Amino acid sequence: MTHPTAIQDTGPEGEQSLFRHLLDTAPGSIEPADRRSELARQLREQTGLDEAALEHLVRRFYARAQLDPDLGPIFRAHVTDWDLHYARMTDFWASVGLLAGRYHRNALQAHRPLALQPAHFARWLELFDQTLQEEVSPQARQHLMTIAQRIAATLRSRLCPA
């Protein structure tokens, strides 16, 4: 998996990511040292996302996922401390979605022992999108789904070789 804060040009369907749009339209007067914080500020402004919104989103998604007949058993078998998991996933989404830079774990390694199949990634995306539709702005949904699709494609390709 790429570093969580890596900026990609396009999503899986070729749409321009919000990251790319912000980079392309950022004024040249921004000092390199201030660029990350300015991009993070713009992401927050354009999506309406913040730490509290991401924590709420994470909790709502996992409440739904735990009840899912395909994903629920996987999560229940591997997550022993849900509060720690929520905190880690909030850090992850803050890092990939808002450039917070707090998540420093290896997501690929964390998913290796789960024996995931391609259908699990499709279901994860479906549930995540349902949660996004209910919980965040359309701009935030598009932003986070672009990231989620890229992550799912990367994990699927590395964990489910054809």
CA atoms within 13 A on the CB side of 26: 22
Segment 103-132, tens digit of pLDDT:
777 777 888 878 889 999 999 999 999 999
Q: Does residue 86 have a pLDDT over 50?
A: yes
Question: What is the pLDDT averaged over residues 125-141?
Answer: 96
> Domains plus CATH for the chain?
18-159 (1.10.490.10)
Segment 32-66, tens digit of pLDDT:
667 778 888 888 998 999 999 999 999 999 999 99
> What does the pLDDT read at residue 8?
38
